[in-house]
Amino acid sequence: MRAGWRLGLGVVLVAVVAAGFAALFRVGLGFALYHLAGTTDVVSAMRHAPVWARLVCPPIGGLLAGCVGLMVARSPGGSGVGDVMEAVVLGRVRLSLRVTLLKSLASWLAIIFGGSIGREGPLIQFGGASGKLVGDWLDLSTDRARLLIAAGTAAGFAAAYNTPFAAVLFVIEVVTGMVVLDTILPVLVATVIATAISRAVVGDGPIYGERAFHLQSRWELLAFAGLGILAALGAQAFMRLLTLGERIFRQPWLNLPWRPALGGVLAGAVVALLPECAGNGYEPLSSLLGGATTVGFVALLLIGKCFATTASVSSGSPGGVFTPTLLIGGAIGVLYVHALSSVGASLGAVGGYALVGMAAATAATTHAPLMAAVMAFELSGDYAIALPLLLATAISTLLSRHLRRQSIYTAELMERGVGWEVTMEGRRVLGPHG
Instruction: Kindly state whether residues 141 and 235 are assigned to the same domain.
Output: no
13 in a structural domain: yes
CATH code for position 158: 1.10.3080.10
Instruction: Kindly state whether residues 238 and 189 are assigned to the same domain.
Output: no
Q: Is residue 383 over pLDDT 80?
A: no
pLDDT band at 76 (very low <50, low <70, confident <90, very high): low
401 burial level (CB within 10 Å; 0-12, 13-18, 19+): middle
426 in a structural domain: no
Residue 91 — left, alpha, or beta (φ > 0 → left; ψ -120 to 50 → alpha)?
left
Q: What's the pLDDT at 208?
A: 66
Residues 427 and 405: their CA atoms lie apart, in Å, by 16
DSSP calls for 278-320: SSSSHHHHHHHHTT---HHHHHHHHHHHHHHHHHHHHTT---B
421 in a structural domain: no
Instruction: Kindly state whether residues 234 and 294 are assigned to the same domain.
Output: yes
Note the pLDDT tens digit of each residue in 304-329: 999 999 999 998 887 778 889 999 99
Q: How many domains does the chain have?
A: 2
Instruction: Kindly state whether residues 306 and 248 are assigned to the same domain.
Output: yes
Instruction: Kindly state whether residues 153 and 266 are assigned to the same domain.
Output: no
Instruction: Kindly state whether residues 174 and 268 are assigned to the same domain.
Output: no
Q: What's the pLDDT at 398?
A: 96
Instruction: Kindly state whether residues 233 and 157 are assigned to the same domain.
Output: no
Instruction: Kindly state whether residues 273 and 385 are assigned to the same domain.
Output: yes
Residue ending a domain, among 149, 169, 202, is 202
409 in a structural domain: yes
Question: Which of 89-93, 284-288, 317-321 is the least confident region?
Answer: 89-93
DSSP calls for 388-432: HHHHHHHHHHHHHHHH-SS-TTHHHHHHTT-EEEEETTEEEEE-T
> What share of the chain has pLDDT > 90, as a percent?
40
Instruction: Kindly state whether residues 275 and 384 are assigned to the same domain.
Output: yes
Question: Which residues partner with 427 through β-bridges?
Answer: 422
More confident call, 115 vs 73:
115
Mean pLDDT estimate for the chain: 85
Residue ending a domain, among 202, 230, 261, is 202
Q: What's the pLDDT at 424?
A: 53
Note the pLDDT tens digit of each residue in 4-38: 788 889 999 999 999 999 989 988 988 998 888 88
pLDDT band at 372 (very low <50, low <70, confident <90, very high): very high
Q: What's the pLDDT at 291?
A: 81
| Dihedral (CA of 404, 409, 412, 413) sign | negative
366 φ, ψ to 5°?
-95, -15
Instruction: Kindly state whether residues 267 and 297 are assigned to the same domain.
Output: yes
pLDDT band at 419 (very low <50, low <70, confident <90, very high): low
Q: Is residue 84 over pLDDT 50?
A: yes
Q: What's the pLDDT at 433?
A: 45
Residues 3 and 8: their CA atoms lie apart, in Å, by 9
123 in a structural domain: yes
Q: Is residue 121 over pLDDT 50?
A: yes
More confident call, 96 vs 78:
96
431 in a structural domain: no
Mean pLDDT to the nearest integer, 398-407: 90
Length of the chain: 434
Q: Is residue 113 over pLDDT 80?
A: yes
Q: What's the pLDDT at 161?
A: 86
Question: Which residues partner with 265 through β-bridges?
Answer: none
Note the pLDDT tens digit of each residue in 335-350: 999 999 888 888 888 8
Question: Which residues partner with 430 through β-bridges?
Answer: 419
292 in a structural domain: yes
Range of the structural domain that residue 96 is part of: 3-202
Q: Is residue 427 over pLDDT 50?
A: yes
371 in a structural domain: yes
Residue ending a domain, among 167, 202, 237, is 202
Instruction: Kindly state whether residues 225 and 364 are assigned to the same domain.
Output: yes
Note the pLDDT tens digit of each residue in 211-242: 667 777 778 899 999 999 999 999 999 999 99
Instruction: Kindly state whether residues 23 and 108 are assigned to the same domain.
Output: yes
